[in-house]
Chain A
Amino acid sequence: MERFAGLLEQLPRQQGEMLRALHLAQEELGWISRDAIRLIARHLRVSEAQVYGPATFYAEFRHSPPPKTLVTWCSGPSCRVVGGDRVRRIFEAEFGCRLGENTEDDELGLWLGQCNGTCERAPMVWVNGRVVGPLTMLETVKLARRLKDGEDPIAWPRRPIKIAPATFVAAEQVYGAEHGSGHGSGASSEGTGQ
């Protein structure tokens, strides 16, 4: 808290610094506490309500401490059309909490995330900010259980995306038959698919 107060002092005392101040609080403290709101209000010379307003309007600002391991479920449509909603139901069942909640002990949390455009990984989740996907439903169950067991999420290899069968213009057409066999994505699909 002292560190945050010190950093806050360095921001200009302007209304326009509000979001920056709130981001700073969240980065330093993990969430926007009542004390943080009071400090920001005092620093920017506005009422606490004027801080509380934006702090609750923007979805990124949290009003309770974050869980130790946070699963952010991508709510985007690209995920949804390939089974994203099932991923949510699996996490809810495995964690025993609803979307937007933490488990009782604050070890795990399942929160809603907005699409950041890594749609080729759909359906996906972020585990402590790292993209994990594309997920099959079995992988989702396994992921949820490993998280419950407290395993390090970063250590798991992610599945490469399935490569489309050879639809690339055949290399023969470009270079003649003698070069045709060894390259082009026809070969690459054999080599790295799944």
Chain B
Amino acid sequence: MSNAYDELREAAELAAAPRRAPERPLVRVDLSTSSIAAEADRLWEALTPLAAARDADLVRVGTLGLSWLEPVVEVERPGSGAVVYGPVRPEEAAAFLEAALGENPAEDAAAWLIGARLPSPGVAPLADHPFWAPQQRRLMRLMGVIDPESIDEAIAEGAYEALDRAVEMEPMAICDLVLAAGVGGRGGGGFPAGQKWKFLLGAPGPSKYLVCNADEGDPGAFVNRVLMESDPHLVIEGMAIAGKATGSDYGFIYIRDEYPLSIARMQLALEQARERGLLGKDIFGSGFDFDLEITRGAGSYVCGEETGLIASVEGIRGMPKIRPPFPAQRGVFDQPSNVNNTETYANVPLIVNRGANWYREYGTESDPGTKMFSISGALERPGILEVPFGMGMDELLLGCGGGPPDGYAPKGIQPGGPLGGLLPASDLGLKLERPPFTERGVLLGSGGLILFDERASAVDLTKYFSEFCEDESCGRCTTCHGGSQRLVEVLERILHGDGREEDLERIGAIDKTLQNANCLHGQFTPYAVRGLVNYFRDELDVHIESKRDPAQVAPGLIRYLVSDPQSAALREAQAFCPTAAIVERPAAGEPAEDGDAEAAAPTGMPDLMIDDARCIRCDVCRELAPEAVRVEDRVIELLSVV
């Protein structure tokens, strides 16, 4: 260890001591995008005077990953461990703090209690929570524990130690180490990072650029966001080491505009790192120069493709280019460049500190190490976690995630974003590594996994993904933008009860054509529809042949009917129908004097009916009057158009 590093660490440990070994109670509030969505910022405001009054320190931290329990608060007390609570509503702040800092938090704060992160008497350990139990938190080690806006806390916990080692290493030795660890591209490609770095190392200078892909455009994936929000220095350190390994002295972190908090935290972390001499000239007195800047994206999915990303960094339209030339030959501003995913860079400091063998303790032959996954959709416990590669997907989605709520059965999985495809529930047993997914014709992708249950329509979901791909096509090749348009048209038609027998063949032809697209965006666009045809064929056939939607989602294939025209609940629901489609049935002449007397309304109120022409199938009435409204297949006249 260099003297410069030792001094830095010592100072940081001193500064961070009150938080690492607190002498008074420490209240850690998760302030991340997910928790702020649950009003953690209001909670923070409410807790500020309360904590001060109780001699407790209030600390901002990143996320532990327990998204469904946000806002999460951890209370650490000297000598009695650290206990995690949630959800703590802002209006409950006083009652919560009273209980959690009181004599017997295990009982008094039981309403909020989740588990003990550090052993606490009478409280079950967090490690026993099904969401937590199978996790191996390496990248996430400090997430939810340190203040992501304090470089002192990060350094005191070991940040930049690996950089100190790396600046004294030969670039090739770092590349070899990363290659030996086998860390693959975390964006989903899985290409060995060490190999990629060697390409750049061998490229002629003088300017070489590193690019960090934090454009995480896959809906349902939020791994990079959590990384940048909760432990930004891990990413910076990884990039600096990559700079040393590739002979590059400048890098760009491309962050999508949808992540304002990530942008702010990374920006702050960069400034702090520069202040401490961890970025800039002559890092740790070794003669190694490296600096970074942030490029803020502006809402374009194809910019996640590396050549599109490079174009976007250059400030032009983010349209992918044909490779070769590869970025290592000609990248940002035509200089040799290397693009890696945020999570790929974040793994590097761990490898430099602990070695390739340690890294390979978890994971599989094809995918060594651990992987962060963001799980969502029809789940009891959506959130973000880190598990070894090779774990069963069922263990992750049903074990950690708790499966679908309210006893619904899982229907399928959507891995790897819009280009990732669809899997049926019978594939829940797949191992979480790339090969089994590729064999099934889908992509494991960057770590987003969405479970859907029987309430969701696979056809509707496929249409959504195809529409997304159409929207996000850069427009350069007709194959891609035209192909995806045709695909959406066919699916839309099917969803409106106009599916035709030849549609399957047509989908196949579009798929084949799309394989001629210039970049992966076009080539992978049909993955979703391929999944539909391969794994949800029954459902698709029912749509096409019987013009029915078994999931009763497609507005064009269902209708809402009143089953109890005198329901009081439905009468109340009338006011909430957005299109005023719940109307009184026009009286059919004078009511009969005798025979129909019993059938006549006891209330004397006219019958209610739903005006099908106005109804937008929004389900408000069924939500309010479940007994009085039913959904039926819309009978579509099967006209034989010859």
Q: Does A77 lie within 8 Å of B618, measured CB to CB?
A: no
A93 at the interface (CB under 8 A from B): yes
CA–CA, A175 and B128, complex, Å: 12
Which one of A77, A113, A140, A174 contacts B450 once the chains associate, using CB atoms below 8 Å?
A: A77
B22 at the A interface (CB under 8 A): no
A4 close to B (CB within 8 Å): no
Does residue B576 face the partner (Cβ distance < 8 Å to A)? yes
Instruction: State the Cβ distance, B571 to closest chain A Cβ, in Å.
Output: 15
Residue A5 interfacial (CB < 8 Å): no
How far apart are the CA atoms of A131 and B111 in the complex, in Å? 25
A161/B258 in contact, CB under 8 A: no
Q: Provide the bound-state CA to CA distance between A142 and B620, in Å.
A: 11
Would B91 and A157 count as touching, CB distance under 8 A?
yes
| CA gap between A113 and B299 in the complex, in Å | 9
CB nearest to A20 among chain B residues:
B296
Q: Report B447-475 residues with CB < 8 Å from chain A CB.
A: 450, 452-453, 455-456, 460-461, 464-465, 468, 474
Are A77 and B461 touching (Cβ within 8 A)?
yes
Closest to A60 in B: B299
**One of A90, A169, A191 near B618 (C-beta < 8 A):** A90
Residues of B within 8 A of A163 (CB): 68-69, 87
Interface residues of A in 127-166 (CB under 8 A from B): 130-131, 133, 136-138, 140-142, 144, 157-158, 160-164
Q: Which B residue sits closest to A178, measured CB to CB?
A: B122
Interface status of B316 (Cβ within 8 A of chain A): yes
* A175 in contact with B112 (CB, 8 Å): no
Count contacts between A and B, CB distance < 8 Å: 252
Among B217, B295, B453, B624, which residue has its beta carbon within 8 angstroms of that of A114? B217
Q: For residue A147, give the distance in angstroms from its CB to the closest CB of chain B.
A: 13
| Chain A residues with CB below 8 A from B616, complex form | 89-90, 92-93
- Cross-chain contact A169 with B220 (CB below 8 angstroms): no
**B415 CB to nearest A CB, Å:** 11
A23 interfacial by beta-carbon distance below 8 Å: yes
Q: Judge whether A114 and B258 touch: CB under 8 Å.
A: yes
The reply to whether A191 and B111 form a contact with Cβ atoms under 8 Å apart is: yes
Q: A20-B296, A80-B460, A117-B221 are in contact. Are A182 and B110 (CB under 8 A)?
A: yes
Contact A158 B39 (CB under 8 A): yes
B248 at interface, CB cutoff 8 A: no
A59 in contact (CB, < 8 A): yes
In chain B, what residue has the closest Cβ to A50? B316
Min Cβ gap B222→A in Å is 3
B210 CB → nearest A CB, Å: 15
A58 to B106, CA, bound (A): 51
In Å, the complex CA distance between A131 and B258 comes to 12
Are A188 and B113 within 8 A (Cβ)?
Answer: yes
Q: A89-B555, A185-B129 are in contact. Are A161 and B87 (CB under 8 A)?
A: yes
Once the chains are docked, how many angstroms separate the CA of A168 from the CA of B68? 14
Please give, as numbers and ranges, the residues of chain B lying within 8 Å of A141 by CB-CB distance.
Answer: 576, 578, 618, 620
Cβ–Cβ < 8 Å partners of A183 in chain B:
106-107, 110, 113, 122-124
Q: Per a CB cutoff under 8 Å, which of A15, A115, A144 touches B315?
A: A15
| A60-B257, A86-B618 known; A144+B578 contact, CB < 8 A | yes
Contacts of B301 in A (CB 8 A): 114
The answer, yes or no, to whether A177 is at the interface (CB within 8 Å) is: no
Check A77/B130 contact, CB under 8 A, given A19-B312, A182-B110.
no
Pick the contact of B380: A80, A116, A164 (CB < 8 A).
Answer: A164
Greatest chain B CB density within 10 A among A18, A82, A94 is at: A82
In the bound complex, residues from chain A placing their C-beta under 8 Å from that of B257 are 23, 60
Residue pair A81, B114 in contact (C-beta under 8 Å): no
Residues of chain A with a CB closer than 8 A to B358's CB: none
**Closest B residue to A92 using CB positions:** B616
A191: nearest chain-B partner, CB-CB? B111
Q: Kindly state whether residue B363 has any CB partner on chain A within 8 Å.
A: no
Instruction: Name the segment of B176-184, B195-203, B371-379, B486-494 touching the other chain.
Output: B371-379
Of residues 296 through 310 on chain B, the ones whose CB sits less than 8 Å from some CB of chain A are 296-301
* Complex Cα–Cα for A19 and B576 (A): 44
Q: Is A41 an interface residue when CB atoms closer than 8 A count as contact?
A: no
A106 to B296 alpha-carbon distance, docked (Å): 28
A81-B461 contact in complex given A22-B298, A93-B618, A114-B217, C-beta closer than 8 Å:
yes
Is residue A179 within 8 Å, beta carbon to beta carbon, of the partner chain?
Answer: yes
Q: Does A76 contact B (CB under 8 A)?
A: yes
Give chain B residues whose Cβ lies under 8 Å from the Cβ of A14: 315
Q: How far is the CA of A179 from the CA of B104 in the complex (A)?
A: 12
Residue of B nearest to A16 (CB): B315
Q: Is A9 an interface residue (CB 8 A)?
A: no
Is A137 in contact with B623, judged by CB distance below 8 angstroms? yes
Complex Cα–Cα for A117 and B333 (A): 32
Q: Are A119 and B220 in contact (CB under 8 A)?
A: yes
Nearest CB on A from B131, distance (A): 9
- Given A114-B258, A157-B91, A184 and B113 touching (CB < 8 A)? yes
B630 at the interface (CB under 8 A from A): no
Which residues does chain B contribute within 8 Å of A15, judged by CB atoms?
A: 314-316
Q: Which residues of A contact B70 (CB under 8 A)?
A: 120
A117, B222: Cβ atoms closer than 8 Å: yes
Q: Could you say which residues of chain B place their CB within 8 Å of the CB of A53? A: 316-317
Interface check B499, CB cutoff 8 A: no
Proximity string of chain A (51-86) to chain B, C-beta cutoff 8 Å, 1 when within and 0 when not: 001100111110000000000000111101111011
A190 to B456, CA, bound (A): 29
CA distance A182 to B381 in the complex (A): 22
A43 within 8 A of B: no
Taking A82-B378, A116-B259, A174-B125 as contacts, is the C-beta distance between A191 and B316 under 8 angstroms?
no
Say yes or no for B318: interface residue by CB 8 A criterion: yes
Bound Cα distance from A90 to B580, whole angstroms: 12
Q: Are A169 and B124 in contact (CB under 8 A)?
A: yes
Residues of A close to B110: CB separation below 8 A: 182-183, 187-188, 191
What residues of A have a CB within 8 angstroms of the CB of B125 in the complex? 174
Does residue B579 face the partner (Cβ distance < 8 Å to A)? yes
Residues of chain A within 8 A of B37, CB atoms compared:
118, 121, 124, 130-131, 133, 158
Task: Give the interface centre of A58, A120, A122 by most chain B CB atoms within 10 Å.
Answer: A120
Inter-chain contact A114/B315, CB cutoff 8 Å: no
Does A97 sit at the interface, judged by CB under 8 A?
no
B186 to chain A, nearest CB (A): 16
A17 contacts chain B at the CB level, 8 A cutoff: yes
Chain B hits for A16, CB < 8 A? 313-315, 333
Using Cβ atoms and an 8 Å threshold, which residues of chain B touch A179? 106, 122
Bound Cα distance from A19 to B263, whole angstroms: 14
Residues A81 and B378 in contact, CB atoms below 8 Å apart: yes
A10 at the interface (CB under 8 A from B): no
> What is the minimal beta-carbon distance from B125 to any residue of chain A, in angstroms?
7
Quick one: which of B265-319 are within 8 Å of A by CB? 295-301, 312-319
Q: Which 9 A-B pairs have the closest CB atoms?
A: A117-B222, A191-B111, A18-B315, A119-B376, A115-B219, A58-B298, A131-B37, A60-B299, A59-B299
Can you list 22 A-B contacts with CB-CB less than 8 angstroms, sorted by A residue number?
A15-B314, A19-B315, A58-B298, A60-B297, A76-B220, A81-B456, A82-B456, A89-B618, A90-B616, A93-B618, A116-B259, A119-B376, A119-B377, A121-B37, A142-B576, A157-B89, A171-B124, A175-B124, A182-B107, A182-B110, A191-B111, A192-B111
Given contacts A169-B124, A184-B113, 4 further A-B contacts (CB under 8 A): A114-B217, A124-B37, A137-B618, A169-B129
- Interface residues, chain A, with chain B CB atoms under 8 Å away: 14-20, 22-23, 50, 53-54, 57-61, 75-78, 80-83, 85-86, 89-90, 92-94, 113-122, 124, 130-131, 133, 136-138, 140-142, 144, 157-158, 160-164, 167-169, 171, 174-175, 179, 182-185, 187-188, 190-192
